Amino acid sequence: MIERFKKKLLSAIGIEYPIIQAPMAGSPTSPELVAAVSNAGALGSLGAGMLSPQAMTEQVERIRVLTDRPFNVNLFILDPPRPTEAELAEAQARLVPLRAELGLTPAAPPSRFCEDNGDQIAALLELAPPVVSFTFGLLDKGRVAEFQHKGCRVIGSATTTAEARAWEETGADFVCLQGVEGGGHRGTFLGDVEQSGVGLMALLSQAARAVRVPLIAAGGIMDGRGIAAALILGAQAVQLGTAFLCCPESGAHPGWKRRLQRARDDETRLTRVFSGKFARGLVNEFMERLRPFEAQIPPYPIQNALTREIRRAAARQERTEFMSLWAGQGAGLCRSLPAGQLVTVLMEELDAALPGAILSD
């Protein structure tokens, strides 16, 4: 039964293996990483949430040059930010000492805080990749239907069973369940973010009973045994982000990769200080210094825009203590393998842990 159940998702997307490389927005998910994962028989994903429509188009075109296999493009669902002048002034004043340590002068407010979400969605509809996914919010039924009419499979991200039900009701093809163990931003859009920090095992077990839409498990999965556990609990595939960060095709900063490889299991924390939205990363000086002000920090994408220059300067200066080092709780299990080889190793480990989980035709 488990073999037949899993192959339904694989057949629908057109991939060989139940592995999805997480769409990490920013530098980590380069077109080269996406294509390498897809070429290996899994599903590569482009994190396009911070890209302009033009940049998204260029990167998708590059992926299509590098692979003829299915791939995914992910976008955020965002409302336009409307901060007050007082909120901006307070937030910027808080960052002045950190900017000074990097040789940056006080900055004027950015001209805009993020890309226009409507323009991004329109561009993605035009590009019509084989798979599209969304996080931070809920796409309406009409838009879901538009993407499906274009031939796209739609994945919605959920951090609770209620969010999984909401995506099922919109007509999403699949739901990706994000356990609190996962690295990067929490995608919670219903209810209290901290109360919605459900571990993957508890979340997957309950959501599998509550919805009929096929589930993808994400959060802390780093090896074949983790994949096996997710499949047993009801997932049809898994999504791994941190596991791919140390691959040579990943655009993650070298200092970030070094920190990942020596990370302990208790070295990550959820924080709002970098972006204004709770995200899990390796604890560093930036986190510690702004931790007392966490409740006062403006929401995403405002804080994210205000700290962007700091993070970029820190990367240029090799100062990881001021960078956002997103990582899941299994970060110490990272492997510096080419992405395609990592997919092969993961499948070998899965077969050892759960023989016959995925049958060939």
Other residues' Cβ atoms within 10 Å of the Cβ of residue 273: 22
> Distances in Å between the alpha carbon of 326 and those of 146, 156, 281, 296?
33, 21, 4, 21
Average pLDDT, the chain: 95
Over residues 306-318, mean pLDDT: 97
Number of residues that this document lists for the chain: 361
Band of pLDDT at residue 323, cut at 50, 70 and 90: very high
> Distances in Å between the alpha carbon of 238 and those of 43, 48, 98, 314, 331?
10, 20, 38, 33, 16
pLDDT at 2 over 50: no
Helix (H, G, I), strand (E, B) or coil at 235: coil
pLDDT at 1 over 50: no
Q: Give residue 358's pLDDT.
A: 62
Q: Are 254 and 162 in contact (CB under 8 A)?
A: no
Over residues 153-168, mean pLDDT: 98
Q: Give residue 26's pLDDT.
A: 84
Q: Give residue 111's pLDDT.
A: 86
All domains of the chain in start order, with CATH: 1-78+115-249+338-361 (3.20.20.70), 84-113+264-332 (no CATH)
Over residues 51-64, mean pLDDT: 98
pLDDT at 107 over 90: no
pLDDT at 80 over 70: yes
In angstroms, the CA 245 to CA 305 distance is 23
- What percentage of the chain has pLDDT greater than the value 90? 91
* pLDDT tens-place string over residues 112-136: 999 999 999 999 999 999 999 999 9
Q: Which residues of 341-355 are buried (b: 16+ CB within 10 A; e: fewer)?
A: ebbbebbebbeebbe
- 141-150: long-range contacts at Cβ-Cβ below 8 A with a sequence spacing of 24 or more? 141/169, 141/170, 141/171, 144/170, 144/171, 144/172, 145/171, 148/173, 150/125
* pLDDT tens-place string over residues 181-207: 999 999 999 999 889 999 999 999 999
Over residues 312-333, mean pLDDT: 97
Report the side by side order of strands in the sheet with 153-158.
19-21, 237-240, 215-218, 174-178, 153-158, 131-135, 71-76, 44-47
Q: Give residue 135's pLDDT.
A: 97
Both ends of the chain: CA-CA distance in Å?
15
**Residue 344 token pair:** 């092969």
* pLDDT tens-place string over residues 241-274: 999 999 999 999 999 999 999 999 999 999 999 9
Band of pLDDT at residue 36, cut at 50, 70 and 90: very high
pLDDT at 78 over 50: yes
In angstroms, the CA 200 to CA 205 distance is 8
- Top pLDDT among 247 and 79 is at 247
Give the helix, strand, coil percentages of the chain, each rounded to 5: 45, 15, 40
Helix (H, G, I), strand (E, B) or coil at 13: helix
pLDDT at 6 over 80: no
pTM: 0.95
pLDDT at 106 over 50: yes
Over residues 223-252, mean pLDDT: 97
